Structure 1
Amino acid sequence: MSNTLRMNLEDVETAYDIMEQLQEMFGHNYGQARFETNKKYANARMTLTMHVRDHFMKMTNYFQEAELHGATIDEENRVGLILNSLAPTFLTFTTNYFLNKMNYGMTQ
């Protein structure tokens, strides 16, 4: 913790009061944090050397981080974002998914 922050919170007695103070100091940045997180998963692209499982886990972490900042992403959009971020070698798979209007969830 920085010295300035420590001095500002020096007289605060309970953990709840500390959290309230921190929320007042830093809470206004939630919109910016949500934007930055949304940008992460919107711009994420799978590399040719990356395993699909690893890419899926990375995208899932981005979604969870976005939800922590107040964003809501339904499962259908999550699947679409992941499919669109796959490497070009999966183009026939993603085209088949969208053309046949398949409706798989995140676990499938």
Structure 2
Amino acid sequence: MEDVETAYDIMEQLQEIFGPKSAQASFEATKKYVNCRMAAGQHVHDHFIKMKKYFLEAELHGATIDEKTQVGIILNSLAPSFVTFTADYFLNKLDYGMTQLLNELKMY
């Protein structure tokens, strides 16, 4: 690859060498965030970061997850102690981005 000029070209060649993204890898990555639940006593920031890592992993394997969907998935994965927060979010039709969601969860 010495004659390759850009990082994009390197990635294209690696994709040709190693083939397309595996459907199984995408499924496994998606399964992680779908099945993830916040443990009792776990800090909300740690849970949030774990979920973001799962979303990134799924996206690296070809999944497309918009921010609104990510927010919904995180809200549904929270511990029962956040049920009031989650109900308030949905009943008041709030529309937080990921950064605002994390800040609001920390304050709650």
TM-score of the aligned structures, taking structure 1 as reference length: 0.76
The answer on 1:82 being equivalent to 2:74 is: yes
Match of 1:54 in 2: 46
User: Based on CA coordinates, which of the two structures has the bigger radius of gyration?
Assistant: 1
Q: Which runs of 5+ in 2 are unaligned?
A: 3-9, 101-108
Offset at 1:31? 0.5
Where do residues 1-108 of structure 1 align in structure 2 (5 Å cutoff)? 14=1, 19=14, 20-21=16-17, 23-24=18-19, 27=20, 30-108=22-100
Query: Sequence identity, in percent?
Result: 60
3-state SS of the aligned residue for 2:87? helix
Q: Where do 4+ consecutive residues of structure 1 move more than 3 Å?
A: 18-21
Offset at 1:49? 1.5
TM-score of the aligned structures, taking structure 2 as reference length: 0.76
Q: CA RMSD in A?
A: 1.7
Aligned length: 90
Q: C-alpha offsets along residues 12-51 of structure 1, whole Å, 9 cap, x if unaligned?
A: xx586x8343x14xx4x61100000110000100011210
Q: Which runs of 5+ in 1 are unaligned?
A: 1-13
